[in-house]
Amino acid sequence: MRARSVDERPVSEGGGGARPILDADRGGFVERHALWGDAEYAAAAQVGRVMDEQGIELVRLSFCDQHGSLRGKTLTRDAVWPAMRDGCTAPSSLVLKDTSGKSVFPVFTPGAGIGVDGLAFAGDVVLVPDPATFRILPWAPRTGWMLCDLVFPDGAAVPLSTRELCRRTLADLAGHGYELNVGVELEFHVFRAVADDRSPSRPGQPGEPSRTAPLTRGAQLLHEEGLDEVDEVVQFLSDGLTALDLPLRSIELEFGPNQLEVTLAPRTALAAADAVVLCRSAIRQLCKRNGYHATFMSRPIGADTASAGWHLHQSLVAGGVNAFVPSQPGEVLSDVGRHYLAGLLDHAAAAAVFTTPTINGYKRYQPYSLAPDRIVWGVDNKGAMVRAVPAGGATRLENRSGEPAANPYLYVASQVVSGMSGMAGRSEPGPPTTTPYTADAPGLPTSLMEALDALDRDPVFAKAWGPQVIDWYTRIKRAEADRYLAEVSQWEQREYFGLF
């Protein structure tokens, strides 16, 4: 079954008689700027065949923004092939916004206030589809889904594209002879939707959240009957994520009320980051369509007993062999593994901006909570920030400090930068802790503001990614923090309104 080209329609819905995109659609923007290789053109041809065979009429083109959310456009069938050839435009101001959707930078000035000419005046950037990421959406009729990379109209990569930043960081790692494998444990909360009574009462700002009701009582970790009570959720999530070809391994009942977890099988790092951003969006969409509300906010109201985290398992591979496996009996990690671990610890405070990028996420760092509160490591110790797991060929490090709302590309890339710094300096992590909540060790940042200050003091990320990237990201996050500090909270109202 051959795909139709830009100017051809199939004879029938089956698509007979169309030319392969591999031959027909070269010569456009994508090829002029060498944005695809033969593998991408072959994948695009396969996309065409699948679209014809499955009767796909709409395709969502999405890119991951600085906050880890997907943004993009839905194209009709006839518009897909021009987008495969020449990309699809979107306003550049999308990479200059905080979590409220407000532009943080002076967009309508030269360089957009950050010194990047291509971002000035809300001009367009180009979304270039990655055909290898094409999927059929199981919950949206006749609809496909494809991730995109961001480039400028001159073909240059947008320096603030987090997927490109991750790819570049992994290429640096590959230049040193290593590949990163990543496994994911992603916790989240699901509530029953009661009503969506949001109104435009605060134009230009996020509205009131939807009203919800509890889904589970909590307090019974991995209780089989408790999971059976939410089997409807388990079934539609399993069906949807599996149909998306995501590497789903398990759906688990966590300790907190309304709290679930999905685990994803290990993959190479960029593929794992892609899987996370798709998985989160899929879970939210699937839940909403079935009368539930899913959130990857770490500590929503009512989650006092257990916040949600994102545990990132990581190991380096060299020549197809796990480079963390020790060569001597009785050792936990190889020399490479120890140095990499030391880097994670040395730069943990600065990396917190990327592992825990929201105001809310820092409320998760509680003692004796299965979330870390200080910068320590331990051997198979789930109270430590980094848990070393000596497991033969599966030996790995598990960073337990991340929140599930983190941008997956920045989270992964921050680990690589930190670990490579430790490897370059042959740093040592010191002995493992057996008392993670009382150890004499630096604490993790207690707020986003404190983490931003730590990032300012640590030059490793500016050296790896350039000061422009760090300035861009910190200005966005400080704007978010400033809005938070300016808001009169319910705590203040309760504490002071009647007292003074």
Token pair in block for residue 347: 């730069």
As given in the structure block, the two tokens for residue 243 are 């149909």
pLDDT in tens, the chain (500 residues): 223 233 332 222 333 333 345 455 567 999 999 999 999 999 999 999 999 999 999 999 999 999 999 999 999 999 999 999 999 999 999 999 999 889 999 999 998 989 898 898 888 999 999 999 999 999 999 999 999 999 999 999 999 999 999 999 999 999 999 999 999 999 999 988 887 656 656 655 666 677 776 677 665 555 666 677 788 888 899 999 999 999 999 988 877 788 899 999 999 999 999 999 999 999 999 999 999 999 999 888 877 768 899 999 999 999 999 999 998 888 999 999 999 999 999 999 999 999 999 999 999 998 888 899 999 999 999 999 999 999 888 999 999 999 999 999 999 999 999 999 999 999 999 999 999 999 999 999 999 999 999 999 999 999 999 999 999 999 999 999 999 999 998 889 999 989 89
Rg of the chain in Å (alpha carbons): 23
The CA-to-CA distance between both ends of the chain, in Å, stands at 76
The two beta strands, 377-379 and 386-389, are parallel
Distance of CA 429 to the CA centre of its chain: 27
pLDDT of the residue at 154: 94
pTM value is 0.91
- Rounded Cα distance, 393 and 151, in Å: 39
Q: What is the pLDDT of residue 227?
A: 74
Task: At 129, list the tokens.
Answer: 């589809």
Q: What's the pLDDT score for residue 23? A: 52
Angle at 355 between CA 302 and CA 421, to 5 degrees: 160
